[in-house]
Structures are given as structure tokens and as C-alpha cells.
């Protein structure tokens, strides 16, 4: 048994991975992972999770993420995202909440977490998350739009209109936001 073998397999896995040949990388990583879950400071399990996710095998990817006990914010973000793609919203929420405890300034997570709460019918949590997100990411038109829609859903029309106007001031061509605003004004007139 050659002690260099795992390193060679790892290197071949990394090579395939770096050129986007995920299907090719998987068997190399699998061989290494069986004996050595961490090589040169790299969690082989995360690489496997990424590779499986990139080939569309989300369930497989989730299993590897569950096995890696990484609390690296980027890993938590990707794990949450893959769970989201696999319709495991419960896992996404857990990972993204964990991520925000570690790093509340991780901007890109707020929109996804708010959308996940909304999908689970947790409208108030979704709204609170979107509003928190706007404190760290104040030029995110999607986040303003979502916060506005959620404000409408919890019955705060004034805030809803204010937030959606912000989205439009960032991007005057933001069609969904403009249409939402027109609808809102119509409803106000009819009441």
C-alpha cells in the first residue's frame, strides 16, 4: 500500500474539480474520503458534497454535508443552498440561522433565509429577517421588494409601500416591484 496513493487520488480529484469535471472527481474523492476525511486542510466531504450537488445529486450532497462538521460560513451557506435546491427547507433554515449567528454580516444569506421562512409559512420571521438583512445590505433591491411584499402580508400597508418604493429607487426598471406598487395603490383606492 503506497502511502502517497491518497495524496495522488486527492490531487487528481482536485484537478478534475477545479476544471468543473465533477463526475470525474467523485471516485477519486470517494477513495480518499474512506481513509482520510481531511487532506492538506481540505474537508474531502465538502468537496464530495459540492461535486454531487454540481451533478444534480442533491440528496447525496446533503449526506456528505451532514457528515462534515464544518462551521465555516461559506460551507454553511452552500450546504443551506443545496438543501434549498433539494426542497429540504428545514435544513436550509437551520444552516442559515447557524451561519448568521457566526457572521451576521454575511449579506447574501438574508434573502434566501427570508424566502425559506416564507415558504414554511413563517411570514413574521421572514419579514424580520428581510428587515435585518437591509441593515447589512442596504442596496439590495430584491430584499427591499421581498420585505415590502411581506409587510403587506402582515398588514402593514404603509411600510409595504415605502419598502417597495426603495426597491424601485435602486432600480427604476424593476418590473415586479413596479407592478406590486401599482396593485397596492389600486387596493388603497378601493378601500
Res. 4: pLDDT tops 80: yes
User: What is the percentage of the chain residues whose pLDDT exceeds 90?
Assistant: 81
DSSP the chain: --TTHHHHHHHHHHHHHHTT-HHHHHHHHHHHHHH-SEETTEEHHHHHHHHHHHTT-HHHHHHHHHH-----HHHHHHHHHHHHHTT-HHHHHHHHHHHHHH-TT-TTHHHHHHHHHHHTT-HHHHHHHHHHHHHH-TT-HHHHHHHHHHHHHTT-HHHHHHHHHHHHHH-TT-HHHHHHHHHHHHHHHH-
Res. 84: pLDDT tops 70: yes
Res. 1: pLDDT tops 70: no
Task: Describe the crossing of helices 89-102 and 73-85 by its angle, rounded to 10 degrees.
Answer: 160
User: What is the percentage of the chain residues whose pLDDT exceeds 70?
Assistant: 99
Task: HSE, CB side, 13 Å, CA atoms: give it for residue 185.
Answer: 8
Mean pLDDT of 133-162: 96
Predicted local confidence at residue 167, as pLDDT: 97
Give this prediction's pTM. Answer: 0.81
Predicted local confidence at residue 72, as pLDDT: 85
What's the residue count for the chain?
191
Phi, psi of 43 (to 5 degrees): -75, 110
Mean pLDDT of 136-153: 97
Res. 183: pLDDT tops 70: yes
Quickly state the pLDDT bin for 70 (edges 50, 70, 90). Answer: confident
Res. 143: pLDDT tops 80: yes
β-bridge mates for residue 42, sequence order: 39
Cell of 152: 403587506
Q: Which residues contact 41 (CB under 8 A, 6 or more apart)?
A: none
Per-residue model confidence as pLDDT tens digits over 8-59:
999 999 999 999 999 999 999 999 999 899 998 888 999 999 999 999 999 8
Cell of 111: 434573502
Per-residue model confidence as pLDDT tens digits over 93-134:
999 999 999 999 999 999 999 999 999 999 999 999 999 999
Amino acid at each position: 500500500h503506497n502511502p502517497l496513493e491518497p495524496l495522488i487520488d486527492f490531487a487528481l480529484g482536485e484537478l478534475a474539480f477545479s476544471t468543473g469535471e465533477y463526475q470525474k472527481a467523485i471516485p477519486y474523492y470517494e477513495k480518499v474520503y474512506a481513509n482520510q476525511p481531511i487532506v492538506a486542510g481540505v474537508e474531502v466531504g465538502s468537496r464530495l458534497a459540492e461535486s454531487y450537488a454540481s451533478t444534480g445529486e442533491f440528496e447525496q450532497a446533503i449526506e456528505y454535508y451532514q457528515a462534515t462538521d464544518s462551521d465555516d460560513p461559506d460551507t454553511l451557506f452552500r450546504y443551506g443552498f443545496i438543501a434549498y435546491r433539494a426542497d429540504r427547507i428545514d435544513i436550509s433554515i437551520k444552516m442559515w440561522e447557524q451561519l448568521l449567528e457566526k457572521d451576521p454580516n454575511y449579506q447574501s444569506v438574508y434573502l434566501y433565509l427570508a424566502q425559506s421562512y416564507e415558504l414554511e409559512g413563517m411570514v413574521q420571521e421572514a419579514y424580520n429577517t428581510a428587515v435585518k438583512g437591509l441593515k447589512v445590505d442596504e442596496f439590495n433591491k430584491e430584499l427591499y421588494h421581498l420585505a415590502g411584499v411581506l409587510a403587506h402580508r402582515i398588514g402593514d400597508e404603509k411600510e409595504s409601500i415605502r419598502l417597495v418604493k426603495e426597491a424601485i429607487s435602486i432600480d427604476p426598471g424593476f418590473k415586479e416591484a413596479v407592478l406590486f406598487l401599482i396593485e397596492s395603490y389600486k387596493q388603497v383606492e378601493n378601500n
